Amino acid sequence: MTPERVQVLSLGEMADVERQLEPTFEVHRATGAEIDGLVTRRGPGIRAVATRGRDRLDAALLARLPALEIIANFGVGYDSIDVDAAARRGIVVTNTPEVLNDEVADFAVALLLATVRRLPQADRFVRSGRWLQGNFPLGPTLRDRTVGLIGMGRIGKRIAQRLAAFEVPIVYHSRTARTDVPIATTGSCSRWRKTWTLSWPSYRAAPPPRPDRRRGPRGARAGRHPDQRRPRLGGRRAGARRGAAQRDDPRRRLDVFADEPRVPQALLELDNVVLLPHVGSATRHTRGLMGRLVVDNLLSWFEGRGALTPVPETSWPRKA
């Protein structure tokens, strides 16, 4: 008799992940409004969830999955998952760290350059035919700037390595000093009056202190956690900041919009903000590695070897 295969609930349109899971697991797909009905039909038998992080896995939904053992998240950020509820149940949660560090660091530097050198604006200038009427105006440069990094984790370190090639002063602020990065640290952000990037973890831990806002009119931002509240947007519209490069993600993750794909109209109207559709890790190469790690976490768990990349809140011992 063939043993019954483990049932996996796949959330979030992950066709490549599902193809890799199907030879070993019984995969049930759902997203959005489809989830409720599928959980009603299949919930008692579901032992694993693979999620893209777009659908909320809260305590109420987890309670409807009594056999659930593991949640494998496609991505580093996992704030769509109620990890406290999972931990109370003994459910392990995994994510996909490390495999996207370089891709996202490349992207952060690209955003920095796009913001400072006003590349999207220059592109629109050419496409609209305005070059026929005159040259694009002179703009700012990295040459006379100090770059401040807020956060010096896996991705922050990669960003610093790339910025070193630009031969500009670099300082960073982090919860703990790093001895493996050859750049200066500072306990205060008040002297960062030029350009700064954000690369703190948004998934669970509280962010480090906000940078001092007295950094002058040319402070360009490339990174995460932009405040989208209307009063702050008013300051940007008035020219308080030279520019902001924003990457998107639900609920303040690696690339942030608060309610993607809906973007506040106030942001859309700003010419000095770079807005991109959640593409920080969006290459075939890196997304393939992320998907493979989701699959490997599930395979390892059900083969009795434990999770490969459990998040800190659910770092359980290896499965017996």
Indicate if the pLDDT at residue 1 is higher than 70. Answer: no
Residue 25 lies in a domain: yes
Residue 318 confidence (pLDDT): 47
Supply the CATH number for residue 175's domain. Answer: 3.40.50.720
Q: Please tell me whether the peptide bond between 140 and the residue prior to it is cis, using omega within 30 degrees of 0.
A: no
Same domain (yes/no): 67, 124: no
At residue 218, the 3 state secondary structure works out as coil
Residue 319 lies in a domain: no
Same domain (yes/no): 124, 272: yes
Same domain (yes/no): 230, 289: no
Residue 176 lies in a domain: yes
Same domain (yes/no): 93, 119: no
Question: What domain count does the chain have?
Answer: 2
Residue 218 confidence (pLDDT): 39
Weakest-pLDDT range from 66-70, 164-168, 288-292, 307-311: 164-168
Question: Which one of 162, 278, 292, 313 is the catalytic residue?
Answer: 278
Residue 183 confidence (pLDDT): 76
List, in order, residues 6 or more apart from 96 with CB less than 8 Å away.
73, 74, 75, 76, 289, 290, 293, 294, 309
Residue 85 lies in a domain: yes
Helix 154-164 with 101-116: angle, nearest 10 deg: 50
Residue 159 lies in a domain: yes
Q: Which helix (H) or strand (E) holds 101?
A: helix 101-116
Our answer to whether residue 103 is catalytic in this structure is no
Interatomic CA distance for residues 318 and 130, integer angstroms: 63
Same domain (yes/no): 44, 12: yes
State the chain's mean pLDDT as an integer: 80
Same domain (yes/no): 289, 166: no
Residue 2 lies in a domain: no
Q: Which helix (H) or strand (E) holds 48?
A: strand 46-51
Interatomic CA distance for residues 109 and 63, integer angstroms: 42
What confidence tens digit (pLDDT) does each residue in 244-278 have?
A: 554 433 222 234 677 778 888 888 888 888 888 88
Residue 320 lies in a domain: no
Our answer to whether residue 28 is catalytic in this structure is no
Same domain (yes/no): 81, 109: no
Output the furthest CA–CA distance in the chain (Å, rounded). 78
- The residue count of the chain comes to 320
Same domain (yes/no): 176, 39: no
Question: Which one of 118, 224, 236, 241 is the catalytic residue?
Answer: 224
Residue 154 confidence (pLDDT): 87
Same domain (yes/no): 116, 225: yes
Query: Among all chains, which residue has been given the structure tokens 């750049």?
Result: 183
Nearest to residue 298, comparing CAs of 2, 5, 1? Answer: 5
Same domain (yes/no): 117, 179: yes
Same domain (yes/no): 50, 145: no
Q: How many other C-beta atoms can be found within 10 angstroms of the C-beta atom of residue 112? A: 27
Question: Which one of 29, 117, 260, 292 is the catalytic residue?
Answer: 260
Our answer to whether residue 313 is catalytic in this structure is no
Query: Given pLDDT bands bounded at 50, 70 and 90, which one contains residue 90?
Result: very high
Query: Among all chains, which residue has been given the structure tokens 């008013």?
Result: 234
Task: Report the chain's C-alpha Rg in angstroms.
Answer: 22
End-to-end CA distance of the chain: 25
Same domain (yes/no): 48, 74: yes
What confidence tens digit (pLDDT) does each residue in 129-152 have?
A: 999 999 999 998 888 888 888 888
Pairing of strands 7-11, 46-51: parallel
Domain residue limits at 39: 7-98+284-314
3-state secondary structure 133-196: HCCCCCCCCCCCCCEEEECCCHHHHHHHHHHHCCCCCEEEECCCCCCCCCCEECCCCCCCCCEE
Residue 1 lies in a domain: no
Nearest to residue 111, comparing CAs of 250, 319, 278? Answer: 278
